[in-house]
Structure 1
Amino acid sequence: MRILLVGAGLSCAVIGRRLAEAGHDCRIIDSRPHIAGNCHTERDGETGVQMHVYGPHIFHTDDAEVWDYVNGFAEFLPYQNRVKSTTQGAVYSLPINLLTINQFFGKTMRPDEARDFIAAQADLTIEDPQNFEEQALRLVGRDLYEAFFKGYTEKQWGCSPTELPASILKRLPVRFNYDDNYFFHRFQGMPKDGYTQMIAAILDHPRITVELETPYAPDMADAADHVFWSGPLDGYFGYELGRLGYRTLDFERFTHDGDYQGCAVMNYGDREVPYTRITEHKHFSPWETHQGSVCYREYSRAAQPEDTPYYPIRLVEEKALLEDYIAAAEAVEGVTFVGRLGTYRYLDMDVTIREALDTAATVLRCIDEGRPVPAFVVSPR
């Protein structure tokens, strides 16, 4: 079959590779001048630092098959994300752990003492948290909430935490030991030569052709037996029903001679600091040595039509519009919507790869059995 895949990021690269290995001809197009989508990495010409151009991407997973898959295309070196936060005039470690609690409250508690102390801080009158703020108050109490979550969340999402679902905060752990590894997955690391080199290796197959700076045009589908769309779901339909909401990021790049902040990620919890965090990119490759340093200040805001979409908002209004676009997509033949943008969901890299592998397997079964390929292998709902 002749397959057209729109987008040269993780989703289409993995799907295209599997289909190419099965004997199908895959044409991958991307409107950008590079492959790898938002996990694109490149060397900074001034300092030699490996840059995460669209913000940091840290690989972590419990999925052994996905871990083996990425290690088949790149050498991964150990990396653990150890985030710090500057708030109320001091620096703390995240996620909230025993060191954070003891330092913040000026105590020397043991784990069981800290657990009881935080339980006393928590607002247990909130029996069924209905929003982010209520979930935080029930989980850690007002002091920790206002120091680490309230201002940061207002900046990140551009709205009051009372407007956000409680489920967002359920992903953030509180630890009653001194473990400051941000993630708890058993496989964690970074590709030694960057994500772009990894995806280039995935795309290196004689049945795959890649065309960059090539926007999708509807007549391209006429030459294909099936299309995979990893662009914005609403964008496929020309936004005819309205635009789904996204947050985007602005990056303020600056350089420093030496070590600017001593860590890869420094959050800023105070509302009056306009940026959410500063990332120092040489620390994402701790096996390298660089005198110069490149940092990004990150500012979050509502995405405009010309912006790169990062985080789907998925509040009430967007979910209603999403249902309309799902119905429109399911009425289209010969197109499968994939990935973060195509299914309007926030996805970590390992989940993106997992879903791409599963999508490719489903598609190959459909081809073998003569069944139509579904619009969504993974539901956006």
Structure 2
Amino acid sequence: MVGAGLSGAVIGRELADRGHEVTVVDSRAHTGGNCHTERDAETGVMVHVYGPHIFHTDDEEVWNYVNAYETFLPYKNRVKTTSNGQVYSLPVNLHTINQFFGKTMRPDEARAFIVEQQADTSIEDPQTFEEQALRFVGKDLYEAFFKGYTIKQWGCHPSELPASILKRLPVRFNYDDNYFFHKFQGMPENGYTAMIDRILDHPAITVKLGTSFASDMAREYDHVFYSGPLDGYFNYSIGRLGYRTLDFERFSYAGDYQGCAVMNYADEDVPYTRITEHKHFAPWESHDKSVCYREFSRFAEADDIPYYPIRQVREKALLGKYVELAEQTRGVTFVGRLGTYRYLDMDVTIREALDAARGFLACRADNRPVPAFFQKPL
């Protein structure tokens, strides 16, 4: 298993439970990948070192799986945003609409108001992020809550981004400010790293941290599951896939800095996209001091941690070439966010890892070749 994050840990444990000897290598000095959490020595706050991770899913098997290794306590993600000097609730909901327009509309009145006075109904088939937002919320809400934040997050104008990024109608006509719709939502009581360490705690699993993978290592094993960057496996031989990365400006505060876990900053002239206050991700704990991150988004350079695959026209063309190379490579299966160059939530990562392990076992049982991808990147 190349990578001691969710993909490597889950696949490794599934195979170890079925009699395989498993080695997990990771170039970092800790397990957990970007989900890594650790206690801050000064404040006692559980810090999401690579940015906040909030677990939410409708997949009951995945929910039961993570709870078998760690107690998940109730947590609802309630995001706020600062726009033009005022604080609003996200996603855009009835409270946001009434506050923004200075009204006291009921749901049916607000829906009619948006459709008749705000939404650009001349856009019948939105092709870009901007068109999608203008079609469903109108110019005022788009410019207040979506435009500036999106430019900072993606480094380009929303008219250059596909409509699919704005996946669903970005407005609610009720007072529900729960950011996610999923049935199961929570946070691990002792952090994600504690959960992943328990998944890896098996006599047939050997974990080697601070160990970079080299392709010639594959010869020592029957099969390799690779959760690193797909292009990195081939030494970027035909170019680098594009990613956005994040920079965090960490600071402490003697008290409660912002009163919520996530505060977005929608104005384009504010250089950071949001501030996260980590003690609020564990509301069952009490801390006098606080740890916060200012979050900045930019294009990932060669030595940066890749976060968000860009997947525009250029990247998809290059991805297709790497997929061809991967499918010609025997003895390696590419998994996870980096291995398949797709943005994946944690629950989907675990689901795909479970499916990959089961697929591998089925291939071995039937004496069939193990594919390079159980989930196609394109």
TM-score, normalised to structure 2, is: 0.99
8 Å Cα contact 2:133/2:170 also seen in 1: no
Q: Secondary structure at the match of 1:6?
A: coil
Which residue identity does 2:182 align to in structure 1? H
Residue 374 of structure 1 is matched in structure 2 by 371
What is the rounded CA distance, in whole Å, between the counterparts of 2:72 and 2:166 in structure 1? 30
Q: Which of 37, 43, 57 is equivalent to 2:33?
A: 37
Residue 162 of structure 1 is matched in structure 2 by: 159
- Listed as ranges, the gaps of 5+ residues in structure 1 are none
What is the match of residue 25 of structure 1?
Answer: 21
Aligned residue number for residue 288 of structure 1: 285
Aligned residues: 377
| The one of 305, 309, 318 aligned to 1:308 | 305
Cα shift at 1:173: 3.6
- Alignment partner for residue 176 of structure 1, among 164, 169, 173? 173
Rounded to whole Å, the distance in 2 between the matches of 1:174 and 1:60 is 20
Tell me whether 1:228 sits opposite 2:242 in the alignment.
no
SS in 2 for 1:81: coil
Cα deviation for residue 174 of structure 1 reads 1.5
More displaced 10-residue stretch of structure 1: 217-226 or 158-167: 217-226
Deviation at 1:172, TM superposition (A): 5.9
Measured against aligned partners, the alpha-carbon deviations of 1:12-51 in whole angstroms (never above 9, x if no partner) come to 1000000000100000000000000000000011101000
Q: Distance in 1 between matches of 2:121 and 2:98?
A: 22
Q: 1:68 aligns with which of 64, 67, 83?
A: 64
User: For residues 80 and 182 of structure 1, what CA distance do their matches in structure 2 show?
Assistant: 8
* Residue number in structure 2 paired with 1:185: 182
Equivalent in 29, 44, 48 of residue 48 of structure 1: 44
The within-5 A match list for 1:145-156 is: 145-156=142-153
How far apart are 1:219 and its partner, in Å?
2.1
> d(CA) in 1 for partners of 2:169 and 2:210?
38
User: Secondary structure, in 3 states, of the residue corresponding to 2:69?
Assistant: coil
**Given that residues 79 and 90 in structure 2 are in contact (C-alpha distance below 8 angstroms), is that contact kept between their aligned partners in structure 1?**
yes
How many Å separate the matches in 2 of 1:252 and 1:212?
26
Question: Cα deviations across residues 206-237 of structure 1 (Å, max 9, x unaligned)?
Answer: 11000000000222111100000000000000
Partner amino acid for 2:362?
Answer: R
Q: TM-score, normalised by structure 1?
A: 0.98
Work out the CA distance in 2 between the residues paired with 1:217 and 1:178: 52
Kindly, what percent of the aligned residue pairs are identical? 74
Q: Could you list the per-position Cα deviations for residues 230-274 of structure 1 after superposition, in whole angstroms to 9, with x for gaps in the alignment?
A: 000000000001000000000001111110000000000000000
Specify the code of the residue in structure 1 equivalent to 2:345: D
Q: 2:172 and 2:14 mapped to 1: Cα distance? A: 40
Map 1:123-162 → 2, pairs under 5 A: 123-162=120-159
- Pairing 1:203–2:200 present: yes
Q: Which amino acid aligns with 2:109?
A: E
Residue 338 of structure 1 is matched in structure 2 by 335
Aligned to 1:320: 317
Distance in 1 separating the partners of 2:83 and 2:123: 26
Kept in 1, the 8 Å contact 2:215–2:233? The answer is no
SS in 1 for 2:372: coil
Residue of 304, 325, 329 corresponding to 2:326: 329
Question: What are the equivalent positions in structure 2 for 1:340-355 lying under 5 Å apart?
Answer: 340-355=337-352
Distance, in Å, in 2 between the alignment partners of 1:57 and 1:365 is 32
**Closer, same or farther in 2 for the Cα pair 1:172/1:83, shift >3 Å?**
farther
Q: CA RMSD in A?
A: 0.6
Shift of residue 108, structure 1, vs aligned partner:
0.1
Looking at structure 2, the residues matched to 198 and 25 of structure 1 have their Cα atoms a distance apart, in angstroms, of 21
The answer on whether the counterparts of 1:337 and 1:376 sit within 8 Å (CA) in structure 2 is: yes
- Aligned partner of 1:102 in structure 2 is 98
